[in-house]
Structure 1
Amino acid sequence: MVDFKVVLSDPKTGLSYKIDAAGAAAGALLGKKIGTEVDGAPFGMSGYKITITGGSDKTGTPARPDLPGNGRRGLLISDGFGFNATHNGERRRKSQRGNEIAADFVQVNAKITVYGEKPVTEIFAAAAE
């Protein structure tokens, strides 16, 4: 089965947490698109809603929210995801991934949008022990 590292950001505190998603938790993300809200229950966060904000594959290629599909494509970009122009008008052809989470993703970035009853610090403090 697929394994993901989910980097979960908490907008209230500004902290981020790492979740190793395997099995059902990874299956909950498979096929979802960037910007999709998913339930936090598969990650041990009942009552929480999580929004997918991005990710990268095994080669470090970033996912773009405006590129449909799950494949890798070479795009001519001037600035933004995966490239910072150093000169005015500079453009480069860079590999970018589509916005759909696929099996060859390694990292998925997400943020909490709806909070549950139990505080986030308690959930991850119990997991760290």
Structure 2
Amino acid sequence: MVYKVVVSDADVTYQLELDDKDAKVVNGLKIGEEFNGGVLGLKGYKLKITGGSDKNGFPMKEDIDGTRRFKSLVSEGTGFKPTKKGLRRRKTVRGNTIADDISQINVKVSERGEQTLAEIFAEPEEEQEE
């Protein structure tokens, strides 16, 4: 399974893809856990999982254990933003554990490495021919 990983650092975000061979590192991790950023090519970085969504777009919710989908009555928070006070809806959400059904993982930087993210993600400049 290929995961899209969205790395957030302060007000800047970067998107990466995690291949099948490296996906084994994050499989089974839960929201709130940390892993080594070297898997993504971010040497020296520690990344904390903050959420994600599955292949059908349902968001992961921190307080639901496991990998299953669950219809939950929510009044605010993940998956629902009420427009009026007291409004509640039954929404489908995904559990807090990363499995093969997850397509996007949201992470934030908890420990920085030697290089900045801007340097790592900078596109190589093409040489100009004269």
TM-score (norm 2): 0.90
Q: Which of 62, 74, 77 is the equivalent residue of 2:74?
A: 77
CA deviation after TM superposition for structure 1 residue 6, in Å: 0.3
Does residue 106 (structure 1) correspond to residue 103 (structure 2)? The answer is yes
| Structure-1 separation of matches of 2:124 and 2:105 | 19
CA deviation after TM superposition for structure 1 residue 25, in Å: 2.7
Letter of the 1:10 counterpart: D
Match of 1:46 in 2: 43
Gaps of 5+ in 1: none
Give runs of aligned pairs for residues 22-33 of structure 1, distance below 5 A: 22-33=19-30
| Structure-1 separation of matches of 2:2 and 2:19 | 5
Identify which range, 37-46 or 20-29, moves more after superposition.
20-29
| Structure-2 separation of matches of 1:23 and 1:65 | 25
Bigger Cα Rg: 2
Corresponding residue pairs, total: 126
TM-score (norm 1): 0.91
Q: Which of 63, 66, 74 is the equivalent residue of 1:66?
A: 63
Give runs of aligned pairs for residues 83-94 of structure 1, distance below 5 A: 83-94=80-91
CA deviation after TM superposition for structure 1 residue 125, in Å: 1.4
Would the aligned equivalents of 1:35 and 1:52 in 2 still touch at CA under 8 Å? yes
| CA-to-aligned-CA distance 1:77-99 (integer Å, 9 cap, x gap) | 11111112223222111101110
| Structure-2 separation of matches of 1:94 and 1:40 | 32
Give the RMSD, CA atoms, in angstroms: 1.7
| Structure-1 separation of matches of 2:23 and 2:123 | 21
Match of 2:3 in 1: 4
Give SS of 2:114's match: coil
CA deviation after TM superposition for structure 1 residue 128, in Å: 9.2
Gaps of 5+ in 2: none
Closer/same/farther in 2, CA of residues 41 and 93 from structure 1, 3 Å limit: same
**Identity within the alignment, %:** 44
